[in-house]
Structure 1
Amino acid sequence: MLLKDKVIIITGVGPGMGRAMAKIAAEEGASVVMGARKQAFLDEVKAEIEAAGGQAVALSTDVSDRAQCDRLVAAGIERFGRIDGLVNSAYAPGENGPFDDADIEGWAHTIDVACMGSARMAQAVLPHMKARREGAIVNVATMQSLKHLQGGSLSYAIAKGALVTASRQLAAEVGQYNIRVNATRMGWLWGDPVRNALEGMASHMNTTVEAIAEGVAQRIPLGVIPPEEECGKSVLMFVSDYTKMVTGAVLDINGGEWMAP
Protein backbone atom coordinates (compact mmCIF):
# COMPACT_ATOMS: atom_id res chain seq x y z
CA MET A 1 0.00 0.00 0.00
CA LEU A 2 1.26 3.45 -0.95
CA LEU A 3 0.94 4.99 2.53
CA LYS A 4 1.29 1.92 4.75
CA ASP A 5 1.94 2.81 8.41
CA LYS A 6 2.12 6.56 7.76
CA VAL A 7 0.27 9.21 9.76
CA ILE A 8 -1.15 11.91 7.52
CA ILE A 9 -2.92 15.15 8.46
CA ILE A 10 -5.40 16.43 5.88
CA THR A 11 -7.06 19.83 6.28
CA GLY A 12 -10.07 21.03 4.35
CA VAL A 13 -11.86 17.68 4.50
CA GLY A 14 -15.12 18.70 2.89
CA PRO A 15 -17.53 16.97 0.50
CA GLY A 16 -15.13 17.20 -2.47
CA MET A 17 -11.51 16.15 -2.93
CA GLY A 18 -10.77 16.49 0.81
CA ARG A 19 -13.11 13.65 1.67
CA ALA A 20 -11.79 11.60 -1.25
CA MET A 21 -8.19 12.07 -0.09
CA ALA A 22 -8.98 11.09 3.48
CA LYS A 23 -10.66 7.86 2.42
CA ILE A 24 -8.00 7.00 -0.17
CA ALA A 25 -5.20 7.67 2.32
CA ALA A 26 -6.83 5.26 4.77
CA GLU A 27 -7.31 2.65 2.04
CA GLU A 28 -3.62 3.01 1.21
CA GLY A 29 -2.67 2.17 4.79
CA ALA A 30 -2.37 5.56 6.47
CA SER A 31 -3.78 6.66 9.80
CA VAL A 32 -5.60 9.88 8.97
CA VAL A 33 -5.93 13.03 11.05
CA MET A 34 -8.70 15.19 9.56
CA GLY A 35 -9.41 18.85 10.07
CA ALA A 36 -12.21 21.07 8.76
CA ARG A 37 -14.74 23.46 10.24
CA LYS A 38 -17.76 21.12 10.33
CA GLN A 39 -17.37 18.48 13.03
CA ALA A 40 -20.52 16.62 11.99
CA PHE A 41 -19.20 16.08 8.47
CA LEU A 42 -15.80 15.01 9.77
CA ASP A 43 -17.49 12.48 12.03
CA GLU A 44 -19.27 11.01 8.99
CA VAL A 45 -16.00 10.57 7.11
CA LYS A 46 -14.32 9.13 10.20
CA ALA A 47 -17.13 6.59 10.54
CA GLU A 48 -16.73 5.59 6.89
CA ILE A 49 -12.99 5.12 7.31
CA GLU A 50 -13.36 3.08 10.50
CA ALA A 51 -16.15 0.94 9.00
CA ALA A 52 -13.68 -0.01 6.27
CA GLY A 53 -11.07 -0.98 8.86
CA GLY A 54 -9.03 2.22 8.91
CA GLN A 55 -7.99 4.59 11.69
CA ALA A 56 -8.83 8.28 11.88
CA VAL A 57 -8.98 11.33 14.11
CA ALA A 58 -11.55 14.00 13.28
CA LEU A 59 -11.34 17.42 14.89
CA SER A 60 -13.09 20.64 13.93
CA THR A 61 -10.32 23.05 12.94
CA ASP A 62 -10.27 26.62 11.67
CA VAL A 63 -6.83 27.10 10.14
CA SER A 64 -7.10 30.87 10.57
CA ASP A 65 -6.58 30.20 14.30
CA ARG A 66 -3.06 29.02 15.19
CA ALA A 67 -4.22 27.49 18.46
CA GLN A 68 -6.63 25.23 16.58
CA CYS A 69 -3.84 24.20 14.17
CA ASP A 70 -1.66 23.25 17.15
CA ARG A 71 -4.58 21.34 18.66
CA LEU A 72 -5.09 19.27 15.51
CA VAL A 73 -1.42 18.32 15.35
CA ALA A 74 -1.40 17.48 19.07
CA ALA A 75 -4.44 15.24 18.61
CA GLY A 76 -2.62 13.31 15.90
CA ILE A 77 0.51 12.96 18.02
CA GLU A 78 -1.49 11.83 21.04
CA ARG A 79 -3.37 9.16 19.07
CA PHE A 80 -0.67 7.90 16.69
CA GLY A 81 2.65 9.07 18.15
CA ARG A 82 3.97 11.00 15.16
CA ILE A 83 3.10 12.89 11.97
CA ASP A 84 4.62 11.76 8.66
CA GLY A 85 2.77 14.01 6.24
CA LEU A 86 0.61 17.11 5.99
CA VAL A 87 -1.79 17.90 3.15
CA ASN A 88 -2.94 21.51 3.27
CA SER A 89 -6.26 21.54 1.43
CA ALA A 90 -8.29 24.08 3.42
CA TYR A 91 -9.51 27.12 1.51
CA ALA A 92 -11.97 29.98 1.39
CA PRO A 93 -13.33 30.52 -2.14
CA GLY A 94 -13.49 34.31 -2.35
CA GLU A 95 -15.77 36.31 -4.60
CA ASN A 96 -15.99 35.79 -8.36
CA GLY A 97 -15.90 38.63 -10.84
CA PRO A 98 -13.69 41.24 -12.51
CA PHE A 99 -11.08 43.36 -10.75
CA ASP A 100 -12.99 46.62 -11.34
CA ASP A 101 -15.76 45.51 -9.00
CA ALA A 102 -13.66 43.48 -6.58
CA ASP A 103 -13.94 43.96 -2.84
CA ILE A 104 -10.19 44.22 -2.27
CA GLU A 105 -10.55 44.63 1.48
CA GLY A 106 -12.46 41.36 1.49
CA TRP A 107 -9.51 39.50 0.00
CA ALA A 108 -7.89 39.24 3.42
CA HIS A 109 -10.10 36.40 4.64
CA THR A 110 -9.47 34.24 1.57
CA ILE A 111 -5.72 34.82 1.78
CA ASP A 112 -5.75 34.19 5.53
CA VAL A 113 -7.33 30.75 5.10
CA ALA A 114 -5.98 29.55 1.75
CA CYS A 115 -2.38 30.68 2.20
CA MET A 116 -1.65 31.70 5.78
CA GLY A 117 -3.68 28.79 7.14
CA SER A 118 -1.32 26.40 5.36
CA ALA A 119 1.64 28.28 6.83
CA ARG A 120 0.17 27.96 10.33
CA MET A 121 -0.31 24.23 9.88
CA ALA A 122 3.26 23.87 8.61
CA GLN A 123 4.62 25.73 11.63
CA ALA A 124 2.55 23.53 13.91
CA VAL A 125 3.82 20.27 12.44
CA LEU A 126 7.45 21.14 11.63
CA PRO A 127 8.89 20.73 15.17
CA HIS A 128 7.68 17.13 15.21
CA MET A 129 9.03 16.42 11.72
CA LYS A 130 12.36 18.08 12.52
CA ALA A 131 12.73 15.98 15.65
CA ARG A 132 12.37 12.83 13.55
CA ARG A 133 14.29 14.35 10.60
CA GLU A 134 11.61 13.19 8.20
CA GLY A 135 8.33 14.43 6.77
CA ALA A 136 6.42 15.67 3.77
CA ILE A 137 4.13 18.65 3.25
CA VAL A 138 1.99 19.20 0.17
CA ASN A 139 0.12 22.44 -0.41
CA VAL A 140 -2.93 22.23 -2.65
CA ALA A 141 -3.08 25.28 -4.94
CA THR A 142 -4.97 26.12 -8.13
CA MET A 143 -4.42 26.48 -11.84
CA GLN A 144 -5.87 29.98 -11.46
CA SER A 145 -2.53 31.05 -9.97
CA LEU A 146 -0.97 30.32 -13.37
CA LYS A 147 -3.77 31.01 -15.82
CA HIS A 148 -6.51 33.62 -15.78
CA LEU A 149 -10.03 32.25 -15.39
CA GLN A 150 -12.68 34.56 -16.77
CA GLY A 151 -15.04 35.42 -13.91
CA GLY A 152 -12.91 33.51 -11.40
CA SER A 153 -11.96 34.60 -7.90
CA LEU A 154 -9.01 36.98 -7.87
CA SER A 155 -8.45 36.62 -4.13
CA TYR A 156 -8.40 32.82 -4.38
CA ALA A 157 -5.92 32.91 -7.28
CA ILE A 158 -3.69 35.36 -5.42
CA ALA A 159 -3.80 33.33 -2.19
CA LYS A 160 -2.90 30.11 -3.95
CA GLY A 161 -0.19 31.82 -6.02
CA ALA A 162 1.38 32.99 -2.77
CA LEU A 163 1.05 29.45 -1.42
CA VAL A 164 3.07 28.07 -4.34
CA THR A 165 5.80 30.63 -3.65
CA ALA A 166 5.74 29.82 0.06
CA SER A 167 6.06 26.11 -0.74
CA ARG A 168 9.29 26.63 -2.66
CA GLN A 169 10.75 28.93 -0.03
CA LEU A 170 9.94 26.47 2.74
CA ALA A 171 11.28 23.53 0.73
CA ALA A 172 14.67 25.23 0.47
CA GLU A 173 14.73 25.94 4.21
CA VAL A 174 13.68 22.58 5.64
CA GLY A 175 15.39 20.24 3.19
CA GLN A 176 18.31 19.98 5.63
CA TYR A 177 15.95 18.15 7.99
CA ASN A 178 14.91 15.67 5.28
CA ILE A 179 11.50 17.35 5.07
CA ARG A 180 9.99 17.75 1.62
CA VAL A 181 7.54 20.50 0.59
CA ASN A 182 5.69 20.44 -2.72
CA ALA A 183 2.62 22.04 -4.25
CA THR A 184 -0.10 21.04 -6.70
CA ARG A 185 -2.16 23.15 -9.08
CA MET A 186 -5.70 21.84 -9.39
CA GLY A 187 -8.27 22.67 -12.05
CA TRP A 188 -11.82 21.42 -12.43
CA LEU A 189 -12.58 18.53 -10.07
CA TRP A 190 -15.48 16.32 -11.03
CA GLY A 191 -17.53 15.35 -8.00
CA ASP A 192 -20.61 16.41 -6.09
CA PRO A 193 -19.59 20.07 -5.48
CA VAL A 194 -18.91 20.72 -9.19
CA ARG A 195 -21.96 18.73 -10.23
CA ASN A 196 -24.14 20.82 -7.91
CA ALA A 197 -22.62 24.03 -9.25
CA LEU A 198 -23.27 22.96 -12.84
CA GLU A 199 -26.86 22.13 -11.98
CA GLY A 200 -27.37 25.70 -10.85
CA MET A 201 -25.69 27.03 -13.98
CA ALA A 202 -27.74 24.75 -16.22
CA SER A 203 -30.98 25.92 -14.65
CA HIS A 204 -30.01 29.56 -15.08
CA MET A 205 -28.85 29.05 -18.69
CA ASN A 206 -31.75 26.77 -19.67
CA THR A 207 -29.43 23.94 -20.68
CA THR A 208 -28.20 20.65 -19.19
CA VAL A 209 -25.40 19.69 -16.85
CA GLU A 210 -24.10 17.33 -19.52
CA ALA A 211 -23.90 20.12 -22.10
CA ILE A 212 -21.94 22.41 -19.79
CA ALA A 213 -19.64 19.59 -18.67
CA GLU A 214 -18.95 18.66 -22.28
CA GLY A 215 -18.00 22.24 -23.05
CA VAL A 216 -15.59 22.31 -20.11
CA ALA A 217 -14.08 18.94 -21.06
CA GLN A 218 -13.42 20.13 -24.60
CA ARG A 219 -10.98 22.71 -23.20
CA ILE A 220 -9.04 20.03 -21.32
CA PRO A 221 -6.43 18.08 -23.33
CA LEU A 222 -7.35 14.76 -21.69
CA GLY A 223 -10.96 15.37 -22.72
CA VAL A 224 -12.58 14.89 -19.31
CA ILE A 225 -13.19 16.89 -16.17
CA PRO A 226 -10.62 15.28 -13.84
CA PRO A 227 -12.38 13.12 -11.20
CA GLU A 228 -11.65 14.28 -7.66
CA GLU A 229 -10.60 10.75 -6.63
CA GLU A 230 -7.93 10.55 -9.33
CA CYS A 231 -6.69 14.05 -8.50
CA GLY A 232 -6.58 13.15 -4.81
CA LYS A 233 -4.33 10.18 -5.58
CA SER A 234 -1.85 12.47 -7.32
CA VAL A 235 -1.78 14.82 -4.33
CA LEU A 236 -1.21 11.93 -1.92
CA MET A 237 1.72 10.71 -4.00
CA PHE A 238 3.71 13.63 -2.54
CA VAL A 239 3.39 12.27 1.01
CA SER A 240 4.43 8.79 -0.08
CA ASP A 241 7.92 7.30 -0.29
CA TYR A 242 7.66 7.37 -4.07
CA THR A 243 8.62 11.06 -4.00
CA LYS A 244 11.45 10.93 -1.48
CA MET A 245 13.74 12.86 -3.82
CA VAL A 246 11.17 15.49 -4.85
CA THR A 247 10.92 18.84 -3.09
CA GLY A 248 10.12 22.38 -4.19
CA ALA A 249 8.12 21.00 -7.11
CA VAL A 250 4.77 22.15 -8.47
CA LEU A 251 2.61 19.55 -10.20
CA ASP A 252 -0.30 20.45 -12.46
CA ILE A 253 -3.17 18.08 -11.70
CA ASN A 254 -5.79 19.43 -14.09
CA GLY A 255 -5.87 17.19 -17.14
CA GLY A 256 -3.46 19.53 -18.92
CA GLU A 257 -5.89 22.46 -18.92
CA TRP A 258 -3.12 24.78 -17.72
CA MET A 259 -1.61 24.71 -21.24
CA ALA A 260 -4.89 25.04 -23.15
CA PRO A 261 -5.61 28.45 -24.78
Structure 2
Amino acid sequence: MLLKDKVVIITGVGPGMGCKMATIAAAEGASVVMSARSAAFIDDVAAEIVAAGGQAIAVPSDVTNIEDCDRVARVAIDAYGRIDGLVNSAFRFVGGLPFGREALPEWQASLDVALFGTLKMIDAVVPHMKARREGSIVNISTRSTMQPLAGEGPYVTAKTALLGVSRQLAMEFGPYNIRVNSPRMGWLWGDPVRSYLTAKAEKRGVPLDEVVADIVRDIPLGVIPPDEECARSVLFFLSDYARMVTGTSLDINGGQFMM
Protein backbone atom coordinates (compact mmCIF):
# COMPACT_ATOMS: atom_id res chain seq x y z
CA MET A 1 0.00 0.00 0.00
CA LEU A 2 1.44 3.33 -1.11
CA LEU A 3 0.66 5.24 2.09
CA LYS A 4 0.46 2.47 4.66
CA ASP A 5 0.37 3.82 8.25
CA LYS A 6 0.87 7.45 7.19
CA VAL A 7 -1.20 10.30 8.62
CA VAL A 8 -2.26 12.78 5.95
CA ILE A 9 -4.11 16.11 6.14
CA ILE A 10 -5.91 17.30 3.00
CA THR A 11 -7.38 20.80 2.83
CA GLY A 12 -10.04 22.10 0.47
CA VAL A 13 -11.71 18.71 0.12
CA GLY A 14 -14.59 19.13 -2.31
CA PRO A 15 -16.45 17.10 -4.94
CA GLY A 16 -13.54 17.15 -7.42
CA MET A 17 -10.01 15.90 -6.94
CA GLY A 18 -10.09 16.68 -3.21
CA CYS A 19 -12.45 13.89 -2.26
CA LYS A 20 -10.67 11.51 -4.65
CA MET A 21 -7.36 12.22 -2.90
CA ALA A 22 -8.97 11.50 0.47
CA THR A 23 -10.63 8.23 -0.53
CA ILE A 24 -7.61 6.93 -2.45
CA ALA A 25 -5.19 7.90 0.33
CA ALA A 26 -7.33 5.97 2.81
CA ALA A 27 -7.52 2.98 0.46
CA GLU A 28 -3.73 3.10 0.22
CA GLY A 29 -3.41 2.77 4.00
CA ALA A 30 -3.34 6.37 5.24
CA SER A 31 -5.30 7.84 8.12
CA VAL A 32 -6.86 10.94 6.59
CA VAL A 33 -7.86 14.21 8.19
CA MET A 34 -10.00 16.32 5.85
CA SER A 35 -10.40 20.07 6.10
CA ALA A 36 -13.02 22.15 4.27
CA ARG A 37 -15.70 24.72 4.97
CA SER A 38 -18.52 22.37 3.93
CA ALA A 39 -19.10 20.26 7.02
CA ALA A 40 -21.85 18.14 5.47
CA PHE A 41 -19.76 17.20 2.45
CA ILE A 42 -16.61 16.13 4.28
CA ASP A 43 -18.70 14.32 6.91
CA ASP A 44 -20.19 12.23 4.10
CA VAL A 45 -16.76 11.52 2.59
CA ALA A 46 -15.39 10.49 5.99
CA ALA A 47 -18.38 8.19 6.54
CA GLU A 48 -17.79 6.53 3.15
CA ILE A 49 -14.12 5.99 3.96
CA VAL A 50 -14.89 4.48 7.36
CA ALA A 51 -17.63 2.27 5.88
CA ALA A 52 -15.03 0.93 3.43
CA GLY A 53 -12.72 0.03 6.31
CA GLY A 54 -10.49 3.11 6.24
CA GLN A 55 -9.55 5.78 8.76
CA ALA A 56 -10.82 9.34 8.29
CA ILE A 57 -11.82 12.39 10.30
CA ALA A 58 -13.65 15.44 8.97
CA VAL A 59 -12.76 18.80 10.48
CA PRO A 60 -14.91 21.70 9.22
CA SER A 61 -12.56 24.67 8.97
CA ASP A 62 -11.48 27.74 7.03
CA VAL A 63 -7.79 27.92 6.12
CA THR A 64 -7.87 31.72 6.26
CA ASN A 65 -8.39 31.37 10.02
CA ILE A 66 -5.12 30.42 11.72
CA GLU A 67 -6.96 29.05 14.76
CA ASP A 68 -8.84 26.67 12.46
CA CYS A 69 -5.54 25.51 10.95
CA ASP A 70 -4.12 24.87 14.40
CA ARG A 71 -7.26 22.90 15.27
CA VAL A 72 -6.93 20.67 12.19
CA ALA A 73 -3.34 19.84 13.12
CA ARG A 74 -4.31 19.23 16.74
CA VAL A 75 -7.08 16.83 15.73
CA ALA A 76 -4.59 14.83 13.65
CA ILE A 77 -2.09 14.66 16.51
CA ASP A 78 -4.72 13.79 19.12
CA ALA A 79 -6.26 11.07 16.95
CA TYR A 80 -3.20 9.55 15.28
CA GLY A 81 -0.12 10.82 17.14
CA ARG A 82 1.72 12.44 14.22
CA ILE A 83 1.43 14.14 10.83
CA ASP A 84 3.29 12.63 7.87
CA GLY A 85 1.81 14.58 5.00
CA LEU A 86 -0.12 17.72 4.13
CA VAL A 87 -1.86 18.43 0.83
CA ASN A 88 -2.90 22.06 0.42
CA SER A 89 -5.66 22.15 -2.18
CA ALA A 90 -7.92 24.91 -0.85
CA PHE A 91 -8.43 27.72 -3.35
CA ARG A 92 -10.83 30.43 -4.47
CA PHE A 93 -11.73 30.81 -8.14
CA VAL A 94 -13.60 33.53 -10.00
CA GLY A 95 -13.30 33.59 -13.79
CA GLY A 96 -13.99 36.34 -16.28
CA LEU A 97 -12.60 39.07 -14.04
CA PRO A 98 -10.31 41.53 -15.86
CA PHE A 99 -7.83 43.55 -13.84
CA GLY A 100 -9.11 46.79 -12.38
CA ARG A 101 -9.61 48.59 -9.07
CA GLU A 102 -13.01 47.00 -8.58
CA ALA A 103 -11.42 43.56 -8.93
CA LEU A 104 -8.69 44.10 -6.32
CA PRO A 105 -10.77 42.71 -3.42
CA GLU A 106 -11.04 39.42 -5.32
CA TRP A 107 -7.27 39.35 -5.85
CA GLN A 108 -6.86 39.78 -2.10
CA ALA A 109 -9.45 37.11 -1.32
CA SER A 110 -7.79 34.59 -3.64
CA LEU A 111 -4.40 35.23 -2.05
CA ASP A 112 -5.92 34.91 1.42
CA VAL A 113 -7.16 31.39 0.64
CA ALA A 114 -4.66 29.77 -1.72
CA LEU A 115 -1.48 31.51 -0.56
CA PHE A 116 -1.86 32.70 3.01
CA GLY A 117 -4.26 29.88 3.89
CA THR A 118 -1.62 27.44 2.69
CA LEU A 119 1.08 29.21 4.72
CA LYS A 120 -1.09 29.12 7.84
CA MET A 121 -1.73 25.41 7.40
CA ILE A 122 1.97 24.73 6.85
CA ASP A 123 2.77 26.74 9.97
CA ALA A 124 0.36 24.56 11.95
CA VAL A 125 1.89 21.23 10.90
CA VAL A 126 5.60 21.97 10.50
CA PRO A 127 6.49 21.95 14.22
CA HIS A 128 5.17 18.38 14.42
CA MET A 129 7.09 17.35 11.31
CA LYS A 130 10.28 19.01 12.56
CA ALA A 131 9.99 17.14 15.85
CA ARG A 132 9.98 13.84 13.95
CA ARG A 133 12.40 15.14 11.29
CA GLU A 134 10.21 13.87 8.51
CA GLY A 135 7.29 15.01 6.40
CA SER A 136 5.91 15.82 2.97
CA ILE A 137 3.98 18.93 1.96
CA VAL A 138 2.21 19.22 -1.40
CA ASN A 139 0.88 22.57 -2.62
CA ILE A 140 -1.54 22.13 -5.52
CA SER A 141 -0.88 24.57 -8.37
CA THR A 142 -2.21 24.80 -11.92
CA ARG A 143 -1.21 24.74 -15.58
CA SER A 144 -2.61 28.26 -15.82
CA THR A 145 0.51 29.52 -14.06
CA MET A 146 2.36 28.68 -17.29
CA GLN A 147 -0.49 29.42 -19.71
CA PRO A 148 -2.58 32.22 -18.15
CA LEU A 149 -6.16 32.69 -19.26
CA ALA A 150 -7.91 36.06 -19.53
CA GLY A 151 -9.93 36.99 -16.47
CA GLU A 152 -8.28 34.51 -14.11
CA GLY A 153 -5.69 36.87 -12.61
CA PRO A 154 -6.53 36.39 -8.92
CA TYR A 155 -6.50 32.57 -9.16
CA VAL A 156 -3.39 32.41 -11.36
CA THR A 157 -1.46 34.82 -9.16
CA ALA A 158 -2.21 32.90 -5.97
CA LYS A 159 -1.31 29.58 -7.57
CA THR A 160 1.88 30.99 -9.08
CA ALA A 161 2.93 32.16 -5.64
CA LEU A 162 2.64 28.58 -4.41
CA LEU A 163 5.38 27.52 -6.81
CA GLY A 164 7.78 30.02 -5.24
CA VAL A 165 6.66 29.12 -1.74
CA SER A 166 7.32 25.46 -2.42
CA ARG A 167 10.87 26.06 -3.60
CA GLN A 168 11.65 28.42 -0.74
CA LEU A 169 10.30 26.12 1.95
CA ALA A 170 11.89 23.05 0.37
CA MET A 171 15.21 24.78 0.94
CA GLU A 172 14.38 25.88 4.48
CA PHE A 173 12.82 22.59 5.60
CA GLY A 174 15.29 20.27 3.84
CA PRO A 175 17.59 19.95 6.89
CA TYR A 176 14.59 18.56 8.79
CA ASN A 177 13.91 15.97 6.09
CA ILE A 178 10.66 17.73 5.18
CA ARG A 179 9.90 17.76 1.46
CA VAL A 180 7.82 20.42 -0.32
CA ASN A 181 6.52 20.06 -3.87
CA SER A 182 3.90 21.75 -6.05
CA PRO A 183 2.27 19.80 -8.90
CA ARG A 184 0.58 21.81 -11.67
CA MET A 185 -2.83 20.43 -12.57
CA GLY A 186 -4.54 20.78 -15.94
CA TRP A 187 -8.15 19.94 -16.74
CA LEU A 188 -9.63 17.56 -14.15
CA TRP A 189 -12.50 15.38 -15.32
CA GLY A 190 -15.00 15.06 -12.50
CA ASP A 191 -18.25 16.56 -11.28
CA PRO A 192 -17.12 20.24 -11.16
CA VAL A 193 -15.65 20.27 -14.68
CA ARG A 194 -18.49 18.16 -16.05
CA SER A 195 -20.99 20.70 -14.71
CA TYR A 196 -18.97 23.62 -16.08
CA LEU A 197 -18.65 22.10 -19.55
CA THR A 198 -22.30 21.04 -19.58
CA ALA A 199 -23.33 24.64 -18.94
CA LYS A 200 -20.92 25.81 -21.64
CA ALA A 201 -22.37 23.31 -24.11
CA GLU A 202 -25.92 24.41 -23.33
CA LYS A 203 -24.97 28.06 -23.82
CA ARG A 204 -23.45 27.25 -27.22
CA GLY A 205 -26.34 24.96 -28.14
CA VAL A 206 -24.08 21.98 -28.85
CA PRO A 207 -23.68 18.50 -27.31
CA LEU A 208 -21.36 18.10 -24.33
CA ASP A 209 -19.25 15.66 -26.36
CA GLU A 210 -18.44 18.44 -28.84
CA VAL A 211 -17.13 20.74 -26.10
CA VAL A 212 -15.09 17.90 -24.61
CA ALA A 213 -13.69 17.03 -28.05
CA ASP A 214 -12.46 20.61 -28.47
CA ILE A 215 -10.40 20.23 -25.29
CA VAL A 216 -9.22 16.67 -25.88
CA ARG A 217 -7.89 17.65 -29.31
CA ASP A 218 -4.97 19.34 -27.52
CA ILE A 219 -4.31 16.50 -25.05
CA PRO A 220 -1.93 13.82 -26.40
CA LEU A 221 -3.31 11.10 -24.11
CA GLY A 222 -6.72 11.66 -25.65
CA VAL A 223 -8.81 12.25 -22.53
CA ILE A 224 -9.50 14.95 -20.00
CA PRO A 225 -7.43 13.57 -17.10
CA PRO A 226 -9.81 11.93 -14.59
CA ASP A 227 -9.85 13.28 -11.03
CA GLU A 228 -8.86 9.94 -9.55
CA GLU A 229 -5.84 9.49 -11.83
CA CYS A 230 -4.61 13.00 -11.05
CA ALA A 231 -5.17 12.34 -7.34
CA ARG A 232 -2.87 9.31 -7.52
CA SER A 233 -0.13 11.42 -9.10
CA VAL A 234 -0.41 13.94 -6.27
CA LEU A 235 -0.35 11.25 -3.59
CA PHE A 236 2.92 9.94 -5.03
CA PHE A 237 4.63 12.97 -3.46
CA LEU A 238 3.48 11.79 -0.01
CA SER A 239 4.86 8.31 -0.49
CA ASP A 240 8.27 6.89 0.32
CA TYR A 241 8.89 6.54 -3.41
CA ALA A 242 9.37 10.32 -3.49
CA ARG A 243 11.78 10.60 -0.55
CA MET A 244 14.41 12.32 -2.72
CA VAL A 245 11.96 14.63 -4.49
CA THR A 246 11.63 18.18 -3.16
CA GLY A 247 11.39 21.74 -4.41
CA THR A 248 9.94 20.69 -7.73
CA SER A 249 6.73 20.56 -9.72
CA LEU A 250 5.05 17.98 -11.91
CA ASP A 251 2.77 18.76 -14.83
CA ILE A 252 -0.31 16.54 -14.50
CA ASN A 253 -2.38 17.28 -17.59
CA GLY A 254 -2.27 14.37 -20.03
CA GLY A 255 0.44 16.13 -22.01
CA GLN A 256 -1.59 19.24 -22.87
CA PHE A 257 1.25 21.41 -21.65
CA MET A 258 4.82 20.16 -21.92
CA MET A 259 7.84 21.92 -20.46
Q: TM-score range by the shorter chain?
A: over 0.9
Structure 2 equivalent of residue 210 of structure 1: 209
What does residue 233 of structure 1 align with?
232
**SS of structure 2 residue aligned to 1:91:** coil
- Name 1:36's counterpart in structure 2: 36
Q: Which whole-Å CA distance do the structure 1 matches of 2:235 and 2:126 have between them?
A: 19
Deviation at residue 107 of structure 1 after TM alignment = 0.7
In structure 2, distance between residues paired with 1:99 and 1:205: 26
Question: Matched residues in 1 for 2:2 and 2:105: separation?
Answer: 43
Q: Which stretch shifts more, 40-49 or 96-105?
A: 96-105
Q: Assess if the C-alpha contact under 8 Å between 1:7 and 1:85 holds in 2.
A: yes
Q: Which structure 2 residues correspond to residues 57-206 of structure 1 after superposition, within 5 A?
A: 57-99=57-99, 103-149=103-149, 151-206=150-205
User: Counterpart of 2:10 in 1: which secondary structure?
Assistant: strand
Judging changes above 3 Å, is the alpha-carbon distance between structure 1 residues 11 and 200 closer, same or farther for their aligned structure 2 residues? same
CA RMSD of aligned residues (A): 1.3
Following the alignment from structure 1 to structure 2, what is the Cα–Cα distance between the partners of residues 254 and 221? 9
| 1:209 Cα deviation after fit | 1.0
- Aligned with 1:96: secondary structure? coil
Query: What is the distance in 2 between the residues matched to 1:230 and 1:181?
Result: 21
SS at match of 1:86: strand
Q: TM-score, normalised by structure 2?
A: 0.97
8 A Cα contact 2:97 2:103, kept in partner = no
Q: Return 98-107 or 171-180, whichever deviates more.
A: 98-107
Per-residue CA deviations over 1:37-78 (Å, capped at 9, x if unaligned) read 011001100010001000111010100000000000000100
Aligned structure 1 segments of 4 or more residues deviating by more than 2 angstroms: 94-102
The letter of the residue matching 1:203 is E
The CA distance in 1 between the partners of 2:96 and 2:73, in whole Å, is: 33
5+ long unaligned stretches in structure 1: none
Q: Distance in 1 between matches of 2:228 and 2:143?
A: 18
**Structure 1 residues 17 and 105, CA gap change in structure 2 (3 angstroms):** same
How many angstroms apart in 2 are the aligned matches of 1:195 and 1:101? 32
Contact 2:201/2:211 (CA < 8 Å) preserved in 1?
yes
Distance 2:100 2:258 in 1: 27
8 Å CA contact 2:251, 2:258 repeated in 1:
no
Change (3 A) 1:98 1:220: farther
For 1:94 and 1:114, how far apart are their aligned partners in 2?
A: 13
Deviation of 1:101 after TM superposition, in Å, equals 8.6
| Superposed displacement of residue 106, structure 1 | 2.1
Measure, in 2, the Cα distance between the counterparts of 1:181 and 1:144: 20
Between the aligned residues of both structures, percent identity stands at: 56
Mapped partners of 1:216, 1:64: distance in 2: 34
Residue 159 of structure 1 aligns to a residue whose secondary structure is helix
State the distance in 1 between where 2:36 and 2:81 align. Answer: 21
1:25 matched to 2:25: yes
2:45 maps to which residue? 45
Secondary structure class of the residue paired with 1:258: coil
Give the whole-Å Cα distance in 2 for the aligned partners of 1:207 and 1:3. 43
- Structure 2 unaligned regions, length at least 5: none
Separation in structure 2 between the aligned mates of residue 233 and residue 86 of structure 1, nearest angstrom: 15
Task: Report the alpha carbon displacement of residue 97 of structure 1 after superposing the two structures with TM.
Answer: 3.8
Counting matched residue pairs gives 259
* Whole-angstrom CA distance in 2 between matches of 1:152 and 1:20: 28
* Structure-2 residue corresponding to 1:256: 255
